[in-house]
Structure 1
Amino acid sequence: MRSLWPIFLLAGILILPELLLEAERQAGNEHFTPEEARRILPLDSPTDKDQQDSQRGLVRVSGSSRPITEELVQRMVGRRSEAESAYVSIWNWQGIADVTASARGLDSKHHFANSYLVGFQPFETEELWVPLYSLATRKQYQYDHLQYAGLSDIWQTSRQAYYQARGDCEDHAILLADWLINLGVDARVAMGTHKGQGHAWVVAIVNNREYLLEATSKRRQTTWQAMPLAALAEGYEVEFQFNRDYFWARKTSTPTRRYRGSHWVKKSQFIRG
């Protein structure tokens, strides 16, 4: 890659946390029989399962007239080893820090973080608790290095995350956020740490309140009122957040439990296509 491309990789590696203990997997409020659960969670559609979603697009950076293309990111990542390219990367652009993130997908290529939210909704529902309940009942938590031959971090799109039996924190969070967005919720994937370990979760803004949703939780909550307010959630240190369109970075180094406000900077916009 020619030196005129002023893009630099930061230490944006997310080490997956060990959040799920066996006790938590078995805990929770179960209100449905297996037969009732199957009526809520319909059978998989082979057509949906096999559909290939395009992740192509570019990123327009606030304060820069030149966009970042996926081809450029893939070229830069291509200069690294296979193991190195499996890490999540946070990118600078033309002197502007932390403008976007990219991660390696199941196709072995790096794509912008926003592109993993492909607009997928497994089925229609009017209940906001159903997406989190669905994740709790159908998807198992598993570290990427155990599932992908030792590679540190591989992301699934929201569609892939629904049909793949196993996945880690960002796979759960991507599916949950994308589904909630389809339901009209301002939902974002949050990236940071939980108790000092790299992690991804979801923040959902409903009725002007911020809720922190632990997408990897296997507690089967059947009411939105059971969801915790973000301001009360301990141990979570957010650094970045994104949805289908935008990427935000925290403005200061001061920890926060608020996901809106002047301490956040909207760094870039993802343009799909």
Structure 2
Amino acid sequence: MRRWVAPLLVFSALLMLPEILRKTIHRPTESFSAEESLSSAHRIYDSTATAAQDRQYGIVRVVGTSNPLPEETVQQVVAKRTLEESAYVSIWNWQGFEAVTASARGLDNKHHFANSYLVGFKPFQTRQLWVPLYTLAMQKEYQYDHLQYAGLSDIWQTSRQAYYQKRGDCEDHAILLADWLIELGVDARVALGTHRGQGHAWVVAIVDGQEYLLEATSKRREASWQAMPLAALTEGYEVEFQFNRNFFWAKHNSTPTRKYRGRHWIKKSQFIRS
């Protein structure tokens, strides 16, 4: 994820204003279409992972209103966009409440809520918390989405897909790392924001009361949890949102912070998987 620009698209028929987080797109020279690229990626996943399909469908219960935001509503709005427009991550307002959740297009060509990409997957059990990041460094290659998916700027992989797909960008790395750590009993979250001015996703893990910032795309093979940096000491990261399997948080204001807990964070919604 790189260089988000955030114009606001208004749909007067709905009580929401979805905000699209855009990234700079560099057009590839491949002749295949975006649909063919997504279909191919999905076939690779299906042929590699024999587990049952992970359920991503659900609703979002927004704090402050009894009317949940269903996935059908999100997909109805997204369906009115072009394929290129719908490739961007969307931040959703609902019933007068701003930035209550996010959605992104997956390998199945549909938009799903951000929480739903954390499907409860761990490749294997380990007692060493540094092993998931070490495994990512060895196994998964970093590649921009627009190069992998024929110009589409933002396609997300579930945590299971991210393990079996050889390549992925920052969201894919972060989703797999966070979900794996959650399965190991860690309070881990995917953080969305910028790194040195460019759109980015990373992981924050809370262990023994300390907040650690984990750069999921790092290819350094750290074989010790003590080598992981404290979030309070990590420069260049500007977080805007964070989520885990169940909840979505937004900052209370635009003041930069290196703390991922506290009054400056508002729990906006809860994801209920159906």
The bucket for the TM-score relative to the shorter chain is: 0.7 to 0.9
Aligned to 2:81: 80
Aligned to 2:4: none
String of CA shifts for 1:35-54, please: whole Å, max 9, x gaps: xxxxxxxxxxx784453111
Aligned to 1:175: 176
Aligned to 1:12: 21
TM-superposed CA distance for 1:11, in Å, is: 3.8
- Which residues of 2 match residues 67-216 of structure 1 at below 5 A? 67-216=68-217
Measure the CA separation in 1 of the matches of 2:180 and 2:169.
17
Q: Given the two structures, how large is their TM-score scaled by the length of structure 1?
A: 0.87
String of CA shifts for 1:212-237, please: whole Å, max 9, x gaps: 00000000001000000000100000
Measure the CA separation in 1 of the matches of 2:141 and 2:262.
35
Letter of the 2:22 partner, please give it. I
Letter of the 1:171 partner, please give it. D
Letter of the 1:263 partner, please give it. H
Measure the CA separation in 1 of the matches of 2:63 and 2:216.
30
TM-superposed CA distance for 1:13, in Å, is: 2.8
Measure the CA separation in 2 of the matches of 1:148 and 1:65.
38
Measure the CA separation in 1 of the matches of 2:143 and 2:94.
33
CA contact under 8 A between 1:49 and 1:159: conserved in structure 2? Answer: no
Query: Measured at CA, do residues 258 and 73 of structure 1 come closer, stay the same or move farther in structure 2, by a change above 3 Å?
Result: same
Measure the CA separation in 1 of the matches of 2:54 and 2:208.
32
Measure the CA separation in 2 of the matches of 1:181 and 1:135.
16
String of CA shifts for 1:72-116, please: whole Å, max 9, x gaps: 100000100000000000000011000000000000100000000
Q: Given the two structures, how large is their TM-score scaled by the length of structure 2?
A: 0.86
Query: Measured at CA, do residues 15 and 256 of structure 1 come closer, stay the same or move farther in structure 2, by a change above 3 Å?
Result: farther
Measure the CA separation in 1 of the matches of 2:163 and 2:230.
26
Measure the CA separation in 2 of the matches of 1:120 and 1:11.
28
Aligned to 1:65: 66
Measure the CA separation in 1 of the matches of 2:194 and 2:177.
18
Aligned to 2:5: none
- Give the match's secondary structure for 1:238: strand
Aligned to 1:267: 268
Measure the CA separation in 2 of the matches of 1:115 and 1:47.
21
Query: Measured at CA, do residues 14 and 264 of structure 1 come closer, stay the same or move farther in structure 2, by a change above 3 Å?
Result: farther
Identity %: 72
Residue correspondences, number? 245
Letter of the 1:210 partner, please give it. E
